[in-house]
Amino acid sequence: MASQSTIDLLGRLLAFDTTSRNSNLALIAEVEAYLDGLGVPHERVTDVCGEKANLYATIGPADRPGIVLSGHTDVVPVDGQTWSSDPFALLRRDGRIYGRGACDMKGFLAVCLALAPEMVKADLKIPIHFAFSYDEEVGCLGVRGLLEALAARPVKPLGCIVGEPTDMQVVIGHKAKRSLAAVARGAGGHSSRAPEFVNAVEHAARLVTAVTEIGARLAASGGRDELYDVPFSTAHVGVFHGGTALNIVPDEATLEFEFRVLPEEDAEALVAEARGVAAGIEAEMKARDPRTSLEVRIKSEFPGLSTDPSADIVTLAKRLAGRNDHAKVAYGTEAGLFVEMAGIPTVICGPGSIGEAHKPDEFVTEAQLAACEAFVRRLIAHCSA
């Protein structure tokens, strides 16, 4: 079962409502005070408003390349979810720890912090870093500032382990994502004279159809990687709004859609294709009324992850996890950004199941926390050998 210090620290982390829309500074201050008590140096990389911060800490010799343990401090909202207990108070029951973020991913952060005293006591030859970010759940935004800072440093980490929930499986790949929003502005009027106006819903619907057709093409003839549970790139429309009453030709319609793209495929080409379709529809709208438009913008994006199975960080993570297999996952993480922005080889391996994340009564099992403790203890041994 998990150690008492992991449980205690997890309880302290869960008590902060770090839903992405809130500041995470109170949690960061708590972690800083804890690290100060251990004499561990740390730094903040804040957002432009100073309301949120990444925390970067180093245990061991800072002038040598080390291993980063990385996780996000923010959690998804509990709005509209029915919880059996207070989501911001730890509940320990039947070998499980319940709370918002217990699985995704304060459990991993708690294990890292609980083992910090052992890292301090060990004679680390290779340093261990903590990289705790913000705004991961809203498009992997926060970590970018930290990675810019790391990329500019003379000594770069050897590798990074992102502790997102993988059931302690070693994950070497995830898909890239592009989230887009479109707004069709038509010209409205009484529906009895519909042909005189430009129907925003009908034009936006053509973009919906185009995205659906791109998805069908990707499924039928796009690249494939059978290590993913959906082994091809996907397209999806998740939001569509438009119109107010049947007897009014609608003057506005909005949609949101996404592409989740195998890291070996060209996400930008899919975005360009969708933009091209939208430009064609807009040209037809403007030909009928120059005041109309169909705008497409990127809402958020992150790169995919495709780490070579023979990379040193993969070999190390497999040794620490005591397993020889690896996997790829459909959900996105900050891992691809560590590679793309800072050139740090990265894998994902953390406690809990992604199937429990983002749900009411989110939990992580104590067995998974204990497995993660064993993983980090083997890392400490590796780094002090």
List the catalytic residues. 74, 136
- The residue among 164 and 362 lying less far from Zn ion, judged by its C-beta, is 164
Burial degree of 384 (CB within 10 A; 0-12, 13-18, 19+)? middle
- Over the window 54 to 93, marking each residue x when it contacts Zn ion by CB under 5 A and - when it does not, the resulting string is ----------------------------------------
Tell me whether strands 67-72 and 159-162 are parallel, antiparallel or unpaired. parallel
CA contacts within 13 A on the Cβ side of 113: 33
Shortest Cβ 278–Zn ion spacing (Å): 31
- The residue among 113 and 237 lying less far from Zn ion, judged by its C-beta, is 113
The answer to whether 362 contacts Zn ion (rule: CB under 5 A) is no
The answer to whether 104 contacts Zn ion (rule: CB under 5 A) is yes
- The residue among 145 and 352 lying less far from Zn ion, judged by its C-beta, is 352
Shortest Cβ 181–Zn ion spacing (Å): 23
# chain residues binding Zn ion, by CB under 5 A: 3
Let me know: does 132 contact 28? Beta carbons within 8 Å.
Answer: yes
- The residue among 31 and 329 lying less far from Zn ion, judged by its C-beta, is 329
CA 229 to chain centre: 18
Q: What phi and psi values does residue 319 have, to the nearest 5 degrees?
A: -65, -45
What is d(CA 171, CA 347) in angstroms, rounded to the nearest whole number? 6
Shortest Cβ 177–Zn ion spacing (Å): 14
Structure tokens, 145: 């500032």
DSSP 3-state assignment of 107?
helix
Residues numbered 158-177 forming contacts with Zn ion, rule: CB under 5 A = 164
Shortest Cβ 104–Zn ion spacing (Å): 4
- The residue among 78 and 219 lying less far from Zn ion, judged by its C-beta, is 78
Q: How far is CA 85 from CA 82, 89, 359, in A?
A: 9, 8, 13
Let me know: does 75 contact 19? Beta carbons within 8 Å.
Answer: yes
Let me know: does 169 contact 348? Beta carbons within 8 Å.
Answer: no
- The residue among 172 and 253 lying less far from Zn ion, judged by its C-beta, is 172
| Single-letter code of the amino acid located at 296 | V
Shortest Cβ 135–Zn ion spacing (Å): 11
Shortest Cβ 353–Zn ion spacing (Å): 12
Tell me whether strands 91-93 and 53-59 are parallel, antiparallel or unpaired. unpaired
The answer to whether 135 contacts Zn ion (rule: CB under 5 A) is no
Q: In what order do the strands lie in the sheet with 96-98?
A: 91-93, 96-98, 363-365
- In the bound state, the residue with its beta carbon closest to Zn ion is 104
What is d(CA 198, CA 185) in angstroms, rounded to the nearest whole number? 9
- Per CB under 5 A, residues contacting Zn ion are 104-105, 164
